[in-house]
Amino acid sequence: MTTGLHPGGPPQDPRPTGNQALPHQEQAGPAPLHADNRTGSSVITARAAASFDPVGRSVATARSFVRDTLQGWGFADIVDDAVVLTSELVTNAVVHAGTSADVLCLRSDEGVRIEVADRYPEREIPLQASAVNMGSPDREGGRGLQLCAALAGHWGVEYSPTHKQVWFQLDLPDRPVGTRTAGPSLPAHLLPLADGRVRVAVIQIDRAGSISAWNEDAEDLFGYAAEQVTGKPLTDLAAWPHTPGTSTGIVEALQLSRWEGSYGIRGASGRVTPVYASHLRVRDTGGEPSTVCLLVRDHERAVLQTPLRASATDTTTSSEGQATDPFEVFIGSPAPDDLDGLLQRTVERARDMLDGDSAFLLLATDDETELEVRASTGLPSARQRFARVPVEAGPGRYGSARMPAVHEDLMVVPGAVPLLGGTGMRSVVTVPLKVEGRLTGSLGVAAESPSRYSNEEALRLQFAADRIALAVESARLGELERLRRGSLSFLVEASDLLAGTLDRDQTLALMAQMTVPTLATWCAVYTIADQASDPYLSYVLHEDEERIDGLKALLSKIAPPDPVPTPGARVWPAPAEAAHQAALRTSMRSLGLGERSPVSSGIGTTLATAAAVGGETVVLPLVARNRVIGMLTLGKPSDEHFRQEILELAEDLSRRAALALDNARLYSERTAISQSLQRSLLPPELPHIEGVEVEVIYRAAGEGNEVGGDFYDLFPIRDGAYGFAIGDVCGTGPEAAAVTGLARHALRLLAREGFGGPAVLERLNSAILDEGARSRFLTLLYGELWPQEDGSAVLKVVCAGHPLPLRLRQDGTVEAAAEPQPLLGVMEDLELYEQTVTLDPGDVLLCVTDGVTERREGTRMLGDDGLTDVLTTCTGLTAGAVAARVMRAVERFASDAPSDDMAILAMRVPGLQVD
């Protein structure tokens, strides 16, 4: 989808959003719809246009397009109404009318106008001059116009011979000049608490996403001087939540006109500081855009967070007597449109409502057996984000998360609320969040003093929980749906990557790179060679490359996890415990309290390594073909936990990765066997022949050098006589390899028994035919060589269906050195004969397989003539140089990799040496 934004200037670069069904690409130019219905005094300050195909998913894509456009313009107040109306009108176009839909968004000083056009002209024209009966609201059609009439300030319908257009205009809410939002006056004791001086880091990010300004408070908060970070991308420092399918990425957040939210900044010490940030997109007088980021520590978010526009009293009726939404009374308006923001707002409002010191909200898993911490305030970081506690099943009032509970003093009942152990909280009230009788979560408020809460506070908190339970469940289901879509996309991409390689080391690297940092902060892969072997640490990866060596050293010193085949993730506490113990020893030695080692232990385990490994670590078995072949270990830094959805995604990935790793293992074993067999079918080394230069080049085609195909041999027969052969078996694989081995060993045996060339090949032919269905026909050039005292060499050759050997004379002429005869393995009765060739000093005999002569480039083939032309240029070259030149010519003849094996045997008589 291409959107064009015109803030009084040329269109900006289009930026597609999300995983959307791609509509037609179109440039945003003048409006394709009728502009004469717009108010004459309104000035269009920005516009965005897109077209959507007539498919069902285009409705969701259109909603995302309108939502992103209006949020980018800063019109969050009218986003919901605009999305609802656009959804109905685009549904009418792409589903009911069955045509593409054109959506145009126009921003003016009066509001936002959105036009939706389809290409189905045969429709009834509503008579707007008279009252129109829209029909029953329960009927299937006509609801789009009903909604326009109910929600829009102005709307209308226009027809042309080619399309129908429905437009609506939403007016902006009135706000005092210079005021975005404002909160009520509060007494001093109700103001948010800040630790000492509040430091606000002001960071400016240029168009490319690099840091261009860095103030003193940023130096104090994160430890970097301005010159250290200027010019670096903010993404190098930001620890953004990496959850597939959810939230907005930092790159997208920096492009929005305004954005608020939480993330982390990795400081100079290596630790991540949680911050609350407010981004504002601006441009200078030259029109250059940039983003100003204001950041405070996350617990001081009230300094930057947009004030809530909530009622000052906890009632459901406004001062004018109009009914007020109870949800908005508690949560404030506008309510956060994301789950994390909603939950964080909820715990903060619950804490303030009961004047507590901390608050927390947990969401139930699908089976309602565990509660997962999703938001908290006033608690240590160890209690935050995805820590899990069991749902107690006891029937008592204080023993079950399914009922409201008040604990006057946790010192009296230790462990009653596991989440609060060791936090200093004494009294707590917890209430369940239920939707249609099903437990969906738990909301709690705690205080440091005992006996702070009674049943009255529990009723108030339960009333608030009932108000927000449905909204929380709806947001949770929406997040879960986005997560599942993102997980599906992640698994599809992971499967493609894993299926694209059969290399074991590359498969291990892919497994780690796909999990870090998307699923975990660090990853280690253990492999098990066989059932009798111990797990071996094969690969380690951390999102910070400087931590990899320390992490590898730490894991090498502890026993690997047990290879348990039980599916699912299990917690492995050993790395965190070892890291903390090693860091403690390091700290004690630095203070002179421990024994100092006279010899340095190398990299060792530093405090940074302990922080990187000190969080939750889980192990997932890699099971393939009913055997544990390894373990996938995922870890988080200090005080962080895995959320259940991430563990489920990791489990899906581990199953795919295990099969890919086992396939790579099987392929490696097969390749090793194939290569070993291939080497056994070729002579280990060439004998030295006095007075004759010999050179062989052998290139096996195909991945893994599959056995079979071409072969060569050169061996002594008796004193002064040598046998040589070069052949090609039909096909590849084990059957061809069997014939290759039979031919090579039979040639040596028969030749050394004193048989001549024809007799050797006739007996080999019979042996091949005896193989029956396993036999393969064979082309073979066999000869015997006798070096002579005068510097020449006599050869007797038999060419059985093989490319003819070529003889290169000293004068540059090339001729065939034998005549063609029938190949082997086809006919029973062969009558072969041998031919005698004398190589004079300086002559070359070149023997090749058909992989050389049949080298192709499109319809062209090198052929015998092309080989002859190459050999003609080799006069005066050694045997090695001749073979090398022929091979280069063959490789350069075509751009594609060879599809057939190639063997080249060159023999040259250099002549007598004269002293």
256-291: per-residue pLDDT in tens? 777 777 888 988 888 888 888 888 888 888 888 899
Predicted pLDDT at 607: 65
Buried residues in 45-59 as b, exposed as e (16+ CB within 10 A): ebbbbbbbbbeeebb
Averaged pLDDT of the chain: 78
Element (H, E) at 549: helix 548-556
What is the per-residue pLDDT across 69-78, written as a single tens digit (0 to 9) for each? 887 777 777 8
Element (H, E) at 79: helix 79-91
- Reply yes or no on whether the pLDDT at 356 is more than 50: yes
Instruction: Compute the distance between CA of residue 488 and CA of residue 514 in angstroms, rounded to an integer.
Output: 14
Half-sphere CA count of 684, side-chain side, radius 13 A: 0
Average pLDDT over residues 178-203: 69
What is the per-residue pLDDT across 514-561, written as a single tens digit (0 to 9) for each? 888 888 889 999 999 887 788 889 999 988 888 888 888 888 888 888
Higher pLDDT, 143 or 765: 765
pLDDT band, very low/low/confident/very high, at 401 (cuts 50, 70, 90): low
Contact assessment for residue 844 and residue 808, using Cβ atoms and an 8 Å cutoff: yes
10 beta partners = none
Predicted pLDDT at 13: 41
Q: Which structure tokens are listed for 730?
A: 């039909």
Contact assessment for residue 487 and residue 645, using Cβ atoms and an 8 Å cutoff: yes
| Nearest by Cα to 33 from 99, 123, 118, 111 | 118
Instruction: Compute the distance between CA of residue 183 and CA of residue 306 in angstroms, rounded to an integer.
Output: 9
Q: Which of 520-529, 583-592, 613-622 has the highest mean pLDDT?
A: 520-529
Buried residues in 106-131 as b, exposed as e (16+ CB within 10 A): bbbebbbbbbbbbbeeeeeeeeeeee
- Reply yes or no on whether the pLDDT at 803 is more than 70: yes
Instruction: Compute the distance between CA of residue 661 and CA of residue 507 in angstroms, rounded to an integer.
Output: 6
**Helices 644-680 and 734-752 sit at what angle, rounded to 10 degrees?**
20
Predicted pLDDT at 400: 55
The DSSP-derived string for 596-623 is PPSS--TT---HHHHHHHSS-EEEEEEE
Q: Which amino acid is at 442?
A: S
- Cβ count within 10 A of residue 754: 10
- Cβ count within 10 A of residue 669: 10
Q: In terms of residues, how long is the chain?
A: 915
- Reply yes or no on whether the pLDDT at 398 is more than 60: no
* Bridge pairing between strands 693-699 and 627-635: unpaired
| Nearest by Cα to 103 from 68, 72, 63 | 63
The beta-strand segments (E) located in 267-395 are 272-283, 289-297, 358-364, 370-377, 388-390
The SS3 assignment for 824 reads strand
- Average the pLDDT over each of 351-360, 382-391, 875-884 and give the range with the smallest value: 382-391
| Nearest by Cα to 304 from 181, 211, 185 | 181
- Average the pLDDT over each of 533-537, 598-602, 803-807 and give the range with the smallest value: 598-602
Half-sphere CA count of 623, side-chain side, radius 13 A: 14
- Reply yes or no on whether the pLDDT at 737 is more than 70: yes
Average pLDDT over residues 337-343: 79
pLDDT band, very low/low/confident/very high, at 599 (cuts 50, 70, 90): very low
- Cβ count within 10 A of residue 7: 14
Region at 812 (left for phi over 0; alpha for psi -120 to 50; beta for the rest): left
Query: How far apart are the two ends of the chain, measured CA to CA in Å?
Result: 84
Residues 6+ apart with CB under 8 A from 138: none
| Nearest by Cα to 429 from 456, 389, 411, 468 | 456
Q: Which amino acid is at 275?
A: V
132 — phi, psi (to 5°)?
-110, 130
Share of the chain above pLDDT 70, in %: 78
Instruction: Compute the distance between CA of residue 318 and CA of residue 424 in angstroms, rounded to an integer.
Output: 39
46 beta partners = 107
Q: Where are the alpha helices (DSSP H) in 594-641?
A: 607-613
- Average the pLDDT over each of 12-26, 485-499, 680-694, 699-713 and give the range with the smallest value: 12-26
Q: Is the whole-model pTM more than 0.75? A: no
Element (H, E) at 851: helix 850-853
What is the per-residue pLDDT across 150-165, written as a single tens digit (0 to 9) for each? 778 788 887 766 667 8
pLDDT band, very low/low/confident/very high, at 456 (cuts 50, 70, 90): confident
Q: Which amino acid is at 23?
A: P
Higher pLDDT, 830 or 245: 830
Average pLDDT over residues 399-412: 78
Predicted pLDDT at 201: 93
Buried residues in 70-89 as b, exposed as e (16+ CB within 10 A): bbbbebeebbebbbbbbbbb
- Reply yes or no on whether the pLDDT at 724 is more than 90: yes
Q: Which amino acid is at 890?
A: V
Instruction: Tell me whether the omega of the peptide bond preceding residue 683 falls within 30 degrees of 0, making it cis.
Output: no
Instruction: Compute the distance between CA of residue 344 and CA of residue 276 in angstroms, rounded to an integer.
Output: 12
Residues 6+ apart with CB under 8 A from 499: 660
Average pLDDT over residues 712-740: 86
- Cβ count within 10 A of residue 824: 30
Q: Which amino acid is at 21?
A: A
| Nearest by Cα to 620 from 571, 568, 561 | 568
* Bridge pairing between strands 536-542 and 289-297: unpaired
- Reply yes or no on whether the pLDDT at 618 is more than 80: yes
Identify the sign of the CA torsion 145, 148, 150, 155.
negative
Query: 405 burial class (0-12, 13-18, 19+ CB within 10 angstroms)?
Result: buried
- In this structure, the dihedral spanned by the alpha carbons of residues 175, 178, 184 and 190, taken in order and rounded to 10 degrees, is 150
Predicted pLDDT at 217: 92
What is the per-residue pLDDT across 651-682, written as a single tens digit (0 to 9) for each? 988 899 899 998 888 888 887 777 777 777 77
- Reply yes or no on whether the pLDDT at 844 is more than 90: yes
Average pLDDT over residues 323-327: 50
Identify the sign of the CA torsion 36, 39, 42, 45.
negative
Instruction: Compute the distance between CA of residue 289 and CA of residue 640 in angstroms, rounded to an integer.
Output: 36
Q: Where are the alpha helices (DSSP H) in 698-849?
A: 734-752, 757-769
- Reply yes or no on whether the pLDDT at 758 is more than 90: yes
Contact assessment for residue 539 and residue 612, using Cβ atoms and an 8 Å cutoff: no
Residues 6+ apart with CB under 8 A from 344: 262, 336, 375, 377
Predicted pLDDT at 276: 86
Identify the sign of the CA torsion 232, 233, 234, 238.
negative
| Nearest by Cα to 215 from 293, 305, 300 | 293
Average pLDDT over residues 83-111: 83
Query: 882 burial class (0-12, 13-18, 19+ CB within 10 angstroms)?
Result: buried
pLDDT band, very low/low/confident/very high, at 883 (cuts 50, 70, 90): very high
